Amino acid sequence: MLSIKNLHASVEGKEILKGINLEIKAGEVHAIMGPNGSGKSTLAQVLAGNDAFEVTSGSVTMNDEDLLEKETEERARDGVFLAFQYPVEIPGVSNLQFMRTSVNAMRHHRGEPEMNAAEFMKLAREISKQVDLDPAFLKRGVNEGFSGGEKKRNEIMQALMLQPKLAILDETDSGLDIDALKVVSDGVNALRAEDRAILMVTHYQRLLDHIVPDFVHVLADGKIVKSGGRELALELEDRGYAWLGIKDDETAASSALSNSAN
Amino acid sequence: MTTANKEVNELIKREYEHGFVTDIEVDTFEPGLNEDVITRLSEIKKEPQFMLEWRLKAYRRWLEMEEPDWAHLGYDRIDYNSVSYYSAPKRKEDMPQSLDEVDPELLKTYERLGIPLHEHAKLAGVAVDAVFDSVSVATTFKEPLAKAGVIFCSISEAVRDYPELVQKYLGTVVPHTDNFFAGLNAAVFSDGTFVYVPKGVRCPMELSTYFRINAANTGQFERTLIIADEGSYVSYLEGCTAPMRDENQLHAAVVELVALDNAEIKYSTVQNWYPGDENGKGGIYNFVTKRAACIGKNSKVSWTQVETGSAITWKYPSCILRGEGSVGEFYSVALTHNHQQADTGTKMIHLGKNTTSTIISKGISAGKSSNVYRGLVKFGPRAEGARNFTECDSLLIGDQCGAHTFPYIESLNKSAIVEHEATTSKVSDEQMFLCRQRGIDMERAVSMIVNGFCKDVFKELPMEFAVEAGKLLEVSLEGSVG
């Protein structure tokens, strides 16, 4: 489904991604791990089309179409979804209005009729329960005054509403307490499907206890330095990144943290 | 320049859609202003003697007045002798008695503006007074309103038909000595709307005036007077457009509202005068004095304005809260782009006990425009227990525009309570990216973000117009992203 070849990208002239190669098939769940500053979030942003990042070489195709030549909104309509690490607030625009505009933009693209308000409300209420958000939140401004956990659940809710082909989850576990982590993980697991690929970016192993990946990749200094199965993540948890020759000031602290959280 | 800025700048480039000119025969005065011009104007309007004297008195005083320069505005001095003070479509000897006698060219004009005047196509539940250049050309729903006892007509008719009401209230809220533009208006006002709602009557429909400037080199000086008698209620809306012309045109209006005991007036404006082109050429100079006198106990006046047009806007709809427990409200959205300049806000003058006021101002600046909020909240010595809440928010689109807030607070009463909040924000790249990542295109995203920003004001508009206002912002912003 997704094929990334020798991808280089930079921000403000500084190269962050230095040749990423990755193949993801439909139905698979991939986890990208790595220390802070390794380029994990950059990869997520570049795939979604954030033009603050410049792709300097390499290619990305999704279902054999060139992804990089498409605008952000075209990629989204083709099924690329990014769950943001730090979802931004849009004051005064209700979640309901925002999601309905989004859902209908996708439907319009597929040549389907718009969803009417009643149908939409029904769907939105169901899914908000699934991620344990009070339906009253639908009337609040997008992410306005949301707690960290609510913001993350809201991102997963949007993924469930939009049913993307490729869901990219950027540090979806960060800042969550154990109960919220469970809710978010259940939401992501509900997204798993034969025709959908999931790419998770995470610093911590603990997320992978809840969402078990098919493949784990370690990113360091803009390159994938090691790939493996589920067991690679567990090994990282025990031995830290240093074992792979990667410097990471936070590793010791973070694995201690994730252990205590568990 | 960041992405959001580029996008928004593209979005602004949309052309003004009401910029057409109606080709119609007109009677127009030669440019220039003197006592003869005023006398002729008064004669054409068949005004009673008191009106002419009132005008001349105002004119003589105006000659001694200075044009104000304290606003945060830059423009070349206006030559008041190069403006024509009267222009009206030619018509038969008598006033048209019904809409069938109104020039079809005029009806077409209003239809094009989305304001059908014909009986069969009239806006449901909204009575319209259509003012074209210097005269009112049609007023709809007069009869059902008359049945309810509501007087809704052009001010010219009111001067002739209800002189006692006009004489009692005209100039009592905005005297001709108030300011330079109010003085000029008092001397030369040509038409406008008059509303009187009798005791205990709830006006059965929305009233509205649609102002259209058509003729070149002509100033529009309308005057509106609304009186809500004890225990009555009225909701009134005005809309404004003008053709695209290279020269600046002057619009100096005066609006006076009077609310007696327990009366309520809701006054909404959707102002979309021609703003000038993208290089700042042309556009309307909008110098307007709007003021309400809440003279009755527990009376209430609510001003809601959506200002997207004009090259220059100088406008401070205000409330004098004299009656005990009276309430003043000001809800404003002012959007400027290209080279537009707006200096707008309100004055809440608390004189009576337990008077309250609320000010919510939303300024949106794009392009190279300048957007100023200027507000005065004043408490007199007898305003025991009075309170005000003010919220001024500015939204910047791009990095070449400016937003300023000048709040003035004067209190002569220690028990008065003032709360003031102000914020400035930008349409950020992150917000745009979030919307686009959810499949929403840039124009839709900007308009959604801006509409969200204005929500607290739009919800104060009558339903039909809230939708219109949202669309208007969308159009005004179109071309600012791409």
Q: Are A63 and A79 within 8 A, CB to CB? A: no
- CA–CA distances in Å: residue A255 to residues A37, A73, A238, B83: 17, 37, 8, 78
Alpha-carbon dihedral angle through residues B377, B378, B382, B387, given to the nearest 10 degrees: 20
Q: Are B336 and B368 within 8 A, CB to CB? A: no
Amino acid in position B225: L
Q: Is B449 on the interface with A (CB under 8 A)?
A: yes
Which whole number is the average pLDDT over A93-105? 93
- Shortest CA gap B394–chain A (Å): 13
Q: Within 13 Å and on the Cβ side, how many CA atoms surround B47?
A: 25
Contact A52 B3 (CB under 8 A): yes
Alpha carbon distance A187, A197 (integer Å): 15
> Is A253 in a helix, a strand, or coil?
helix
Per CB-CB distance under 8 Å, the chain B contacts of A90 are: 431, 434-435, 448-449, 452
Segment A101-110, tens digit of pLDDT: 999 999 999 9
**Lowest mean pLDDT segment, chosen from B196-200, B277-281, B449-453:** B277-281
Tokens of B246: 């290279």
Which stretches of chain A sit within 8 Å of chain B by CB? 48-52, 71-73, 76-77, 80-82, 84, 87-88, 90-93, 97-99, 101-102, 105-106, 109, 141-142, 158, 162
Alpha carbon distance A7, B177 (integer Å): 72
- From chain B residues 18-37, the ones with a CB under 8 A of any chain A CB are none
pLDDT at position B281 over 50: yes
Contact B456 A82 (CB under 8 A): no
Confidence of residue B19 (pLDDT cuts 50, 70, 90): low
- Shortest CA gap B453–chain A (Å): 6
pLDDT at position B440 over 90: yes
- The pLDDT, as a whole number, for residue B255 is 95
Average pLDDT of chain A is 89
**Lowest mean pLDDT segment, chosen from A238-252, B252-266, B286-300:** A238-252
- The pLDDT, as a whole number, for residue B5 is 45
What residue in B sits closest to A106 (Cα-Cα)? B439
What residue in A sits closest to B429 (Cα-Cα)? A52
Tokens of B119: 């009986």
pLDDT at position B7 over 50: no
pLDDT at position B278 over 80: no
What residue in A sits closest to B426 (Cα-Cα)? A90
Average pLDDT of chain B is 83
Q: Are B188 and B223 within 8 A, CB to CB? A: no
pLDDT at position B213 over 90: no
pLDDT at position B4 over 60: no
Alpha carbon distance B352, B333 (integer Å): 28
Q: Is B128 on the interface with A (CB under 8 A)?
A: no
Which whole number is the average pLDDT over B29-57? 90
- The pLDDT, as a whole number, for residue B135 is 65
Segment B97-114, tens digit of pLDDT: 566 666 666 667 666 666
**Lowest mean pLDDT segment, chosen from A100-109, B280-289, B404-413:** B280-289
- Shortest CA gap A128–chain B (Å): 18
Q: Could you tell me which of A184, A246, A192 has the C-alpha nearest to residue A214?
A: A192
Q: Could you tell me which of B218, B281, B203, B294 has the C-alpha nearest to residue B249?
A: B218
Contact B448 A101 (CB under 8 A): yes
Residue holding tokens 């509205």?
A: B208
- Cα angle value A234/A237/A241 (rounded, 5°): 115
Alpha carbon distance A16, A55 (integer Å): 10
Per CB-CB distance under 8 Å, the chain B contacts of A93 are: 448-449, 451-452
> Across A180-184, B91-95, B113-117, which has the greatest mean pLDDT?
A180-184
Confidence of residue A83 (pLDDT cuts 50, 70, 90): very high
Contact A90 B441 (CB under 8 A): no
pLDDT at position A53 over 50: yes
Q: Are A201 and A167 within 8 A, CB to CB? A: no
Segment A22-40, tens digit of pLDDT: 999 999 999 999 888 899 9
**Of residues A252 and B222, more confidently modeled:** B222
Percent of chain A with pLDDT strictly greater than 70? 94
- The pLDDT, as a whole number, for residue B184 is 93
Strands (E), A122-222: 141-142, 166-170, 197-202, 215-220
**Lowest mean pLDDT segment, chosen from B21-30, B369-378, B400-409:** B21-30
Q: Are B352 and B384 within 8 A, CB to CB? A: no
Q: Distance of alpha carbon A47 from its chain centroid, rounded?
A: 10
Percent of chain B with pLDDT strictly greater than 90? 39
pLDDT at position A129 over 50: yes
ipTM above 0.90, yes or no: yes
According to CATH, the topology of domain A2-90+162-261 is: Rossmann fold (3.40.50)
- The pLDDT, as a whole number, for residue B3 is 45
B186-212 as b/e: b if 16+ CB within 10 A: bbbbbbbbbbbbbeebebebbbbbbbb
Q: Are B291 and B258 within 8 A, CB to CB? A: no
Q: Could you tell me which of B226, B224, B223, B225 has the C-alpha nearest to residue B235?
A: B226
- Shortest CA gap B197–chain A (Å): 36
Alpha carbon distance B67, B285 (integer Å): 14
Alpha helices in B337-393 (DSSP H): none
Alpha carbon distance B209, B237 (integer Å): 6
Contact B440 A101 (CB under 8 A): yes
**CB-nearest partner of B452 from A51, A91, A158:** A91
Name every residue whose Cβ is closer than 8 Å to that of residue B295 and which is 6 or more positions away in sequence: B258, B259, B260, B322, B323
**Of residues B244 and B194, more confidently modeled:** B194
Confidence of residue A111 (pLDDT cuts 50, 70, 90): very high
Confidence of residue A245 (pLDDT cuts 50, 70, 90): confident
pLDDT at position A121 over 60: yes
Tokens of A112: 């389907």
- The pLDDT, as a whole number, for residue A248 is 63
**Of residues B316 and B220, more confidently modeled:** B316
Confidence of residue A58 (pLDDT cuts 50, 70, 90): very high
Which whole number is the average pLDDT over B398-407? 85
Contact A90 B440 (CB under 8 A): no
> Which candidate in B434, B467, B474 is best for mutational testing of the A interface (most A CBs within 10 A)?
B434
Which whole number is the average pLDDT over A192-205? 92
- Shortest CA gap B441–chain A (Å): 6
Other C-beta atoms within 10 Å of B120: how many? 5
Which whole number is the average pLDDT over B157-179? 93
Which whole number is the average pLDDT over B401-406? 87
- The pLDDT, as a whole number, for residue A260 is 44
pLDDT at position B244 over 80: no
Alpha carbon distance A249, A227 (integer Å): 22
Tokens of B247: 């020269």
Per CB-CB distance under 8 Å, the chain B contacts of A105 are: 438-441, 444
> Is A147 in a helix, a strand, or coil?
coil
**Of residues A7 and B88, more confidently modeled:** A7
**Of residues B294 and B370, more confidently modeled:** B294
**CB-nearest partner of B448 from A72, A93, A109:** A93
Q: Is B421 on the interface with A (CB under 8 A)?
A: no
Alpha carbon distance B335, B57 (integer Å): 37
Q: Could you tell me which of A52, A49, A67 has the C-alpha nearest to residue A4?
A: A67
Q: Is B423 on the interface with A (CB under 8 A)?
A: no
Alpha carbon distance B172, B183 (integer Å): 13
- The pLDDT, as a whole number, for residue A262 is 38
- The pLDDT, as a whole number, for residue B2 is 46
Per CB-CB distance under 8 Å, the chain A contacts of B444 are: 101, 105
pLDDT at position A142 over 90: yes
Which whole number is the average pLDDT over B141-169? 89
Give the phi and the psi of residue B415 in degrees, each rounded to 5: -85, -5
**Of residues A83 and B96, more confidently modeled:** A83
- The pLDDT, as a whole number, for residue A259 is 45
Residues A123-126: contacts with CB under 8 Å, at least 24 apart = A123/A161, A124/A96, A124/A99, A124/A100, A124/A161
Contact A106 B456 (CB under 8 A): no
- The pLDDT, as a whole number, for residue B55 is 94
Q: Considering the entire predicted model, what is its pTM?
A: 0.80
- CA–CA distances in Å: residue A152 to residues A157, A195, A205, B174, B265: 9, 24, 18, 55, 46
> Is A129 in a helix, a strand, or coil?
helix
pLDDT at position B464 over 80: no
Which whole number is the average pLDDT over B122-130? 64
pLDDT at position A255 over 60: no
